[in-house]
Structure 1
Amino acid sequence: MEQSIKEQLLGLAEPDFQKFTAALIPNIDNVLGVRLPLLRKLAKAIAQGDWRTYLAHAESDYFEEVMLQGMVIGTVKAEIEEMLRYVAAFVPKINNWSVCDSFCIGLKFTNNHKEAVWDFLQPYLVSELEYEIRFGVVMLLDFYIEEPYIERLLSLLDQTKRETYYVQMAVAWAISICYIKLPGPTLAYLENNSLDDFTYNKALQKITESYRVDQTSKQIIRGMKRKTKGKR
């Protein structure tokens, strides 16, 4: 009898890798410890079969089960409307940065449907939920840091509610990549924005840590740091 997906994942789990992964994602406690290349291989196999039935009945007891669903969605081919329905159904399952970021980078169909996905993302960017916002921000980061979108993208980042850590870190990360790819408009934004101090300073830090930014620019960025009163 063919093994269930859960049985396959349990068979691929490694106790030492479980400890490593669990330490990286402190807010969840359902990690099995399956390496990502093995999950991708399994996702590819599922995508070549009856993936719609799989997604309709997939279980989400373990971190890897959720990660696998996201990978399958990123692997399959379907019309854009159907793809976005699967994305919308998956987003509420995101409860950590790892699933969020892995899911986003896998949604390569975005490259061929920029405007449709841009419109689709807008409600997530004004959500009240931490990982819905992070999903929207990381999608912008992965697919929209380019000339036609940069002004609108920076404006959206500036308006995004970001009282929660994983949103603040995603916004800071996105701004740093904006600066690396398009320093002119991003520097102008950094000189006039409404970011909270933590997100703003974290964005500057990430810029100065990048090997793709020259030393002169790093000095300028360091000089823009805001002084904060004993905050993180």
Structure 2
Amino acid sequence: MGKGTVAIHEDIAAFLASHADEGYRAFQAKLIPNIDAGAIVGVRTPELRKFAKGLARREDAGEFLAALPHGAFEENQLHSFVIAQERDFDKLVGEIERFLPFVDNWATCDQLSCRGLAANPDAALVRVRAWLESDHEYTVRFAIGVLMELFLDERFRPEFFAWVIGVSRPEYYVNMMRAWFFAEALAKQPAAAEAVIASGALDEWTHNKAIQKAVESRRIPAEQKDRLRAMKRRS
């Protein structure tokens, strides 16, 4: 391990130790039950984001990004926040694709910002299609999240619905993201999304969860909520 790598890892370890909050660690452990609670230090997200800004400017930042897998949940969070600051599209995609196989929870997945991919939407969609075919749970979740964040407004195309419908996987966190995607679509593309719900194209769990999340949204008008409630499927 090179001198730079030692330096940056020592600095990160010192930062995490000095900002650890046992109460917050216990809270995080309950929110993210699928990872070892011992891997959670308990550092709050605003503090991680602030520290990551400094990390991204360091000459040895690349050595931290290359040191995968990380041991602590917060190191993965820092990794997400550091690479989100990359402004070169190709470099950003490269860093995302290097990191995604090591993402092991919904929080890190969802806090890996995809906004930089908007610099080249067509190229981003090529990567989304590839990520949707991944064997890795959180790579698929991230891909659906990209569609939700970047492609439900002016970049929307109806075929994106078919992409998400076509994801057939057993994992809870993938299907929760599918439901979230369609709940967002019901707010942003109401006619097209409601037609999908009415068609019954989604599996029952995702169908009903999308309706539930949409009905809970303040962005969905009351009359649309009434129609959606009537579409709930009952076994």
Same fold judged by TM-score > 0.5?
yes
Q: 1:28 is matched with which residue: 8, 32, 35?
A: 35
Structure 1 SS opposite 2:158: helix
Structure 2 SS opposite 1:75: coil
Separation of aligned partners in 1, 2:203 and 2:135? 17
Q: Name the CA shift for 1:128/1:161 in 2 (closer, same or farther; >3 Å).
A: farther
Matches within 5 A, 1:74-223: 74-77=84-87, 79-103=88-112, 106-223=113-230
Indicate yes or no: 2:87 matched with 1:70.
Answer: no
Separation of aligned partners in 1, 2:134 and 2:201? 18
Separation of aligned partners in 2, 1:53 and 1:95? 21
Separation of aligned partners in 2, 1:120 and 1:63? 26
- Residues 67 and 99 of structure 1 are in contact (CA less than 8 Å); yes or no, is this contact kept in structure 2? yes
Instruction: Kindly state the Cα deviation for residue 147 of structure 1 after the two structures are TM-superposed.
Output: 4.4
Instruction: Kindly state the Cα deviation for residue 113 of structure 1 after the two structures are TM-superposed.
Output: 1.3
Q: 1:49 is matched with which residue: 51, 58, 62?
A: 58
Deviations 1:128-161 (A, max 9, x none): 3221211111111111112443312111111012
Instruction: Kindly state the Cα deviation for residue 127 of structure 1 after the two structures are TM-superposed.
Output: 2.2
- Residues 17 and 34 of structure 1 are in contact (CA less than 8 Å); yes or no, is this contact kept in structure 2? yes
Q: Name the CA shift for 1:38/1:58 in 2 (closer, same or farther; >3 Å).
A: farther
* Structure 1: gaps spanning 5 or more residues: none
Separation of aligned partners in 2, 1:214 and 1:136? 28
Separation of aligned partners in 1, 2:130 and 2:69? 27
In percent, how many aligned pairs have the same letter? 31
User: TM-score of the superposition, structure 1-length normalised?
Assistant: 0.92
Number of corresponding residues: 225
Instruction: Kindly state the Cα deviation for residue 199 of structure 1 after the two structures are TM-superposed.
Output: 0.4
- Read off the aligned partner of 1:208 and give its amino acid letter: V
Structure 2 SS opposite 1:128: coil
Q: Name the CA shift for 1:59/1:43 in 2 (closer, same or farther; >3 Å).
A: farther
Deviations 1:151-188 (A, max 9, x none): 12111111012321111100000000011011011111
User: TM-score of the superposition, structure 2-length normalised?
Assistant: 0.90
- Read off the aligned partner of 2:70 and give its amino acid letter: S
Indicate yes or no: 2:16 matched with 1:6.
Answer: no
- Residues 25 and 42 of structure 2 are in contact (CA less than 8 Å); yes or no, is this contact kept in structure 1? yes
- Read off the aligned partner of 2:168 and give its amino acid letter: K
2:25 — aligned with what? 18
Instruction: Kindly state the Cα deviation for residue 81 of structure 1 after the two structures are TM-superposed.
Output: 1.6
